[in-house]
């Protein structure tokens, strides 16, 4: 994953999210890769290279608490519904209305 394709966005909750972004080519779909505990966006590097070379759009964030993304001390900030809102903020920031979501967790 090319380091120059990483971006930062402040969510509507005021939290910084660090994420990898590649726009889709032609009419290809955008893929949203979400990692689980205890990883970072780097876990998706092989998939990002593979699908990016085929023209798919990619959004691969460091999830809350990991990598270059904010690490709030308050456990309440990690509610799934709030993290979903943050991810939607990223999609809105990139003007992406539809994605295919791919995720994992241990």
**What's the pLDDT score for residue 98?**
96
Rg (CA), the chain: 13
What are the tens digits of pLDDT across the range 22-81? 999 999 999 999 999 889 999 999 999 999 999 999 999 999 999 999 999 999 999 999
| Secondary structure (3-state) at 72 | coil
- Cβ neighbours for 14, distance < 8 A, ≥ 6 positions apart: none
pTM > 0.85: yes
Alpha helices in the chain (DSSP H): 45-53, 80-93
Task: Tell me the CATH number for domain 3-103.
Answer: 3.40.50.1820
- Does residue 106 register a pLDDT over 80? no
CA distance 37 to 50: 23
- CA–CA gap between residue 4 and residue 37 (Å, rounded): 25
User: What tens digit of pLDDT does each residue of 51-63 get?
Assistant: 999 999 999 999 9
Q: For the chain, which residues make up each domain, given as ranges?
A: 3-103
Q: If DSSP codes are grouped into helix, strand and coil, which group holds residue 16?
A: strand
| pLDDT number for residue 47 | 97
pLDDT recorded at residue 105: 81
């Amino acid at each position: 994953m090319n380091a120059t394709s990483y971006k930062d966005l402040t969510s509507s909750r005021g939290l910084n999210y660090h994420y990898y972004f590649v726009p889709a080519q032609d009419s290809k779909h955008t893929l949203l890769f979400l990692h689980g505990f205890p990883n970072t966006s780097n876990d998706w590097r092989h998939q990002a290279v593979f699908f990016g070379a085929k023209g798919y759009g990619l959004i691969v964030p460091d999830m809350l608490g990991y990598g270059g993304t904010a690490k709030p001390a308050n456990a309440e900030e990690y509610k799934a519904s709030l993290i979903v809102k943050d991810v939607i903020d990223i999609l809105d920031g990139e003007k992406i209305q539809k994605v295919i979501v791919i995720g994992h967790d241990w």
